[in-house]
Structure 1
Amino acid sequence: MLRRLAGCLAILLVSLGAGGFARADCQAGSGITLQAIKGVGMAPLASGRQVTVVGTVTAVFMAPRALGGFFLQQGGMGGRPPEGIFVYQPQRGGSANPAVGERVVLSARTGRYRGRIQLERVTRTLVCGPDRALRAWPLSLPAKSVQLQRLEDVLVRVPARLTVTSNYQLAHYGTLGLSVDGRLFQPENGTGAVAGRSAGILLDDGSYHAVPRPIPYLNGTGTRRLGSALINLTGVLTKAFGRWRIQPSIEPRFRDTNPRPARPARRAGALRLASFNMENYFINRGGRGAESAAAFRRQQRKLVEAIVALDADVLALHEVENRHRAVAALVRAINTASPSEARYLAAAAGADYGSGAIRTVLLYREQRLVPRSVWINEDSVFTRPPIAADFRRLDGEPATVGVVAAHLKSKGGCRARGDSDQGRGCWGRLRRRQAAALSQWLKRLQAAVDQPRFLLMGDLNSYPGEAAVQTLLSAGLRDLIAERVAPADRYTYVYHGYAGYLDHALATVALADAVGQVAIWHINADEPRYLGYTNPRAKPTFYRSSDHDPVVVDLR
């Protein structure tokens, strides 16, 4: 009863402020059309014009730090889409806010904000009652630009299931990138059969403020993973900052169709090999990696959690600071968190190699393996030399196995000419030369130890269809991820919403038959980046311990 009285009082107060509006003004055809204001098929009205408009409220964003107004629309009859407009009125609040579905008459001035036509400086408002005919206009995605422009500021509903394909800006701007028919994959990832298409829009949070609090759209575990599904998205289609977006009028409904995975199960007696890009593990401040001692402690704890959970007998770790002390600190931290029978040693721990800021490190469990030989490739084509070891197992078969760990030149740091971006990121020619040098080196290693069973693991900074990986496959190596991992799971990294695997496990033919399991543990690439160590409130778990997912290979 009290709630009903409060609603009646609100309508009365709004009506008292109508300043001469009468019920007759609620009729269709009263006032000016939104088409005339926005210039549909004609020149738009100039800013500052006083107008009277009749329309239906479709969405309200009046909370603190929200858009500061509501959306109004007219028409939508006879199969023609309605016209919509944003009404900027930040000073209102509480029970005086218009309600979704109410038909109103208002007097305001025309204006513009960042080039978008809107109404502002509202002086009079009359609530006419509910518009029971209000329906969201169906929107099929992806849509052409002309279709989106026709529906700008209109209440829409996307009947198709959408997929979250980017959460990069979730904690900064409250937005999610979306796709249809599944998530997006890199064109040269070999997964075209399961790849979706960009929806061409963002899901926004009803605000243009940065750093939303709380972060929107999280599930019960505090994340919003890529691959999540979004059902019947309903809201107002707008364009801001160069991107089309939907401001939801109804709380979006997600389905956790890509939940956090359990760690790869390990069969008793299997020998586990893993590769993991550590995203700049640096013990020194002022360059790459953590910017403070506190951030470094968070980073190290998350990385150690991930490495211990991997439970690998051989670890190829990439982007470790190129200093002896950094390698020693990493090994010490891992061993402190591990049982005595699972502790690691670093192959070539005391060696100086490479001119780059980072190095690749090869760790092994001394109670399961003994390195018969260790090599470092000092070819000048590499700034971060590959490292290899031929191991003798202390138990199980195969009795010997060779491991090559490599991290090829990144796709960034483009230069103006020469080996520049050819559509696959920069330095493609250099990576191809590095791959050719790797394949020749691997043949020499096999001959040196009369050992045909080798596994090349590492961040090759190339998708499987690119020249660097194709060079290695042409030399006789087998792509274990392509052979053993389901297409929808073939990714270790996400760039601009497109997933793919830059991290590889390539086996010689002699080793391939001994492979029992190949897995990618998706603990990082799908997670929002705010869960990483740079966030002081990040939980000390292995989720988002890096920007790459680790790759696991189990030998029988």
Structure 2
Amino acid sequence: MPTRPSDPRPRSLRRPAALGSLVAGALAAGLLAAPQPANAEGLRIHDIQGTTRVSPLAGRQVSGVPGVVTAVRAFGSARGFWLQDTHPDRNDATSEGIFVFTGSTTPAVAVGDAVTVSGTVAEYYPGGEKAGLQSVTQLTRATWTVRSSGNALPAPVKLRPSQIPDRYAPDAHGGSIEKLPLRPGSYALDRYESLEGMRVSVQDAPVVGATSEHKDLWVTAEPRHNRTARGGTLYGSYRDPNAGRVKVASLIPFAQRPFPVANVGDELTGTTAGPLDYDNFGGYTLQATELGKLAGHGLKRETTRKQRGDELSVATYNVENLSPRTPQAKFDRLAAALVTNLASPDIVALEEVQDDNGTTDDGTVDAGQTLKKLKDAIKAAGGPAYEARQINPVNGQDGGQPGGNIRTAFLFNPARVSFTDTPGGDSTTAVRAVRAGGKAALTASPGRIDPGNAAWANSRKPLVGQFTFRGERVFVVANHFNSKGGDQGLDSRFQPPARSSEVQRNQQAKAVNAFVKQLLAADRQANVIVAGDLNDYQFSSALKTLTAGKVLTDQVGRLPRGERYGYVYQGNSQVLDHILTSSHVRRVDYDIVHVNAEFADQASDHDPQVLRWKP
């Protein structure tokens, strides 16, 4: 998933080609003389913001714009202050606030100063214009005059369910919504845009995204909407992205007020208030000048039950870029989770296992030391003496962090289950399903599914292994489909947003589906378990492709709705990891074990999951 630096990147300027309808309106109202001067005077913030996402005055000079300073950003390379008009117009579509950008220079203003500002109107696209996000209207190359100090601030607009429309964004059939008139009473994204730069607040806000290393968290202004069993916000369909989610950052110096360390289900009690910003790390962000008090609700890490003697347990766990260079503390935490929280599964499909020197890009591809270090940690935690199976990738061909050569791998407990080692599996040879001894078998175990298929370009190849449990053959496929990198965000200016990465996932799902069909053609009663990080939702086209022909059942769909998640991104509790089973694998007990995704302190950003099955 996307990563980010500690501070916002320098702001770049974009200039629309022409003025919009607001200038014509200003001329008609007598605010501007005709012909319009190069340096526009007499305008107010709502005239600059206009009734669309892009200012009708972008690229123009304005003078003497009045307002009160409501907040100052005095750190990073995107310093400046927020200015808000204390005499708003009557149009809900026009914002009364704006950011005055001063670059790396701390502005010489204080909250409560009444100022008049002159500068250039500009549109800043977080992450660059090609990133597809919305723009922020701002004033640059600004000068200002302080008229008075200590003035009262405008009351914040309270974000609450009645303020947030059910519909998330207008439908532009994949096109830009920038030039559409804002309808804040109809669309949530329009509501937020109409408040850009203004003071807003949330009251007694539930935390739906834990505090990150960048000192921010996510709350919801719709506390009752799509709640999970543990206090998060469930992302259950493309139609409903949970419009109440808002990121909270802080403008208060951490030495003065440390940022709260919150887990999902906690609450910021009282009022959290500040200007509404927008960035490329989460969209609309409340930059708090006032932070509510954290009320911890004591969220606990889950522990699943132990498998019975006649049950096979199969787990999947994305261990997030694990290598021998990873701190020992992370190995110990992963091991403790596998032993205690997952009750020492018989088989574990691992994702994001890096090679033996991590991101050093020197041609190393073996991961023996990485797996040994994890196995040793598991044994030290009181777990079984696991054995491992994996296939080294071709250097630099499986994506992930450059030099890391991530791959999927198996751990298994030889005291409970046996692995059928069949030679012939390597990084470029495709494994095939055959019939042997009246049952399905593999031409190589472990083997890779169709590694030459273009579907796996710069992506992890599925690993399949043949196991035996209590006399039953079991085929496990470990997967890590391509990431969502390159997709447009839910809050994109293109609506609905393009999900370009799913094209490759659909191709990957088709390849795995075809292989499962091979196994079932060899033996229609073959026991097949497909597990791993599929990087897509249970309602996605990729999962529909993977289960096509009813050859597999996605166990996520059998959980109670409020428990269908194992990953939290931008305040949305969602599904990326899955365990699927063939039709002969019946009456299973499936559990997503919540130990990471909802917590500020994580060993991985994914929750593991486990399936128990009695043959």
The two structures have a TM-score, normalised by structure 2, of 0.58
Kept in 1: contact 2:46–2:95 (CA 8 A): no
Deviations 1:333-383 (A, max 9, x none): 42354269842343557x767775343322222222334666233443466
Kept in 1: contact 2:71–2:275 (CA 8 A): no
2:344 paired with 1:314 = no
Where does 1:44-443 land on structure 2 (aligned, <5 Å)?
59=70, 61=72, 73-75=85-87, 83=96, 106=114, 109-111=117-119, 116-117=138-139, 121-123=144-146, 125=148, 135-139=155-159, 140-141=163-164, 143=184, 144=187, 147-148=191-192, 151-158=195-202, 164-165=208-209, 170-172=212-214, 174=216, 176=218, 180=222, 181-182=225-226, 191-192=236-237, 197-199=242-244, 201-206=246-251, 217-219=259-261, 224-226=262-264, 234-239=272-277, 244-253=284-293, 259-266=299-306, 269=309, 271-283=312-324, 293=325, 295-309=326-340, 310=342, 311-321=344-354, 326-327=367-368, 329-338=370-379, 342-346=383-387, 348=389, 356=398, 357-371=405-419, 375-381=445-451, 384-393=461-470, 400=472, 402-411=474-483, 423=500, 425-443=502-520
- Tell me the residue number matched to 2:554: 479
Deviations 1:147-171 (A, max 9, x none): 556545443334695653586xx44
**Separation in 2, partners of 1:486, 1:214:** 43
Kept in 2: contact 1:362–1:405 (CA 8 A): no
Deviations 1:97-117 (A, max 9, x none): 667xxxx8x565545686635
Question: What amino acid is aligned across from residue 237 of structure 1 in structure 2?
Answer: P
Kept in 2: contact 1:372–1:392 (CA 8 A): no
Deviations 1:34-69 (A, max 9, x none): 98443639999x979678x7x877x55588779676
Instruction: Specify the SS of the correspondent of 2:334.
Output: helix
- Residues 465 and 230 of structure 1, relative CA distance in 2, 3 Å threshold: same
The structure carrying a bigger helix percent of its residues is 1
Count of paired positions: 455
Question: What amino acid is aligned across from residue 38 of structure 1 in structure 2?
Answer: I
The two structures have a TM-score, normalised by structure 1, of 0.64
Kept in 2: contact 1:47–1:111 (CA 8 A): yes
Deviations 1:423-447 (A, max 9, x none): 4534134213322233124326757
Shift of 1:525: 3.0
- The higher radius of gyration belongs to 1
Kept in 1: contact 2:319–2:334 (CA 8 A): yes
Question: What amino acid is aligned across from residue 507 of structure 1 in structure 2?
Answer: T
Shift of 1:400: 3.5
**Separation in 2, partners of 1:460, 1:148:** 32
Deviations 1:487-518 (A, max 9, x none): 232223345655432322122333322x2x32
- Residues 255 and 408 of structure 1, relative CA distance in 2, 3 Å threshold: same
Instruction: Specify the SS of the correspondent of 1:544.
Output: coil
Shift of 1:456: 2.6
Kept in 2: contact 1:519–1:551 (CA 8 A): yes
Instruction: Specify the SS of the correspondent of 2:367.
Output: helix
- Residues 457 and 468 of structure 1, relative CA distance in 2, 3 Å threshold: same
- Residues 387 and 166 of structure 1, relative CA distance in 2, 3 Å threshold: same
Shift of 1:404: 0.4
2:489 paired with 1:489 = no
Shift of 1:78: 9.9
Pick which of 310-319 and 253-262 moved more.
253-262
Kept in 2: contact 1:62–1:92 (CA 8 A): no
Kept in 1: contact 2:421–2:446 (CA 8 A): no
**Separation in 2, partners of 1:241, 1:340:** 42
Instruction: Specify the SS of the correspondent of 2:47.
Output: coil
Kept in 2: contact 1:519–1:553 (CA 8 A): yes
Kept in 1: contact 2:351–2:409 (CA 8 A): yes
Instruction: Specify the SS of the correspondent of 2:376.
Output: helix
Instruction: Specify the SS of the correspondent of 1:197.
Output: coil
Shift of 1:550: 0.9
**Separation in 2, partners of 1:111, 1:176:** 33
**Separation in 1, partners of 2:286, 2:467:** 56
Q: Residue 525 of structure 1 is aligned with which of 576, 597, 602?
A: 597
**Separation in 1, partners of 2:486, 2:72:** 42
**Separation in 1, partners of 2:485, 2:111:** 51
Identity between Structure 1 and Structure 2 (%): 20
- Tell me the residue number matched to 1:502: 576
Consecutive unaligned residues in structure 2, runs of 5 or more: 1-40, 51-55, 123-136, 166-183, 229-233, 357-364, 399-404, 423-444, 488-497
Shift of 1:329: 4.3
Shift of 1:172: 3.5
**Separation in 2, partners of 1:372, 1:39:** 71
Consecutive unaligned residues in structure 1, runs of 5 or more: 1-33, 284-292, 394-398, 416-420, 529-542
Deviations 1:120-163 (A, max 9, x none): 655553658x79xx743344135456655654544333469565
**Separation in 2, partners of 1:273, 1:339:** 21
User: CA RMSD of the aligned region, Å?
Assistant: 5.0
Kept in 1: contact 2:237–2:539 (CA 8 A): no
Q: Residue 586 of structure 2 is aligned with which of 494, 512, 523?
A: 512
Deviations 1:243-285 (A, max 9, x none): 54333343135555692422223366454321112223334xx
- Residues 273 and 331 of structure 1, relative CA distance in 2, 3 Å threshold: farther
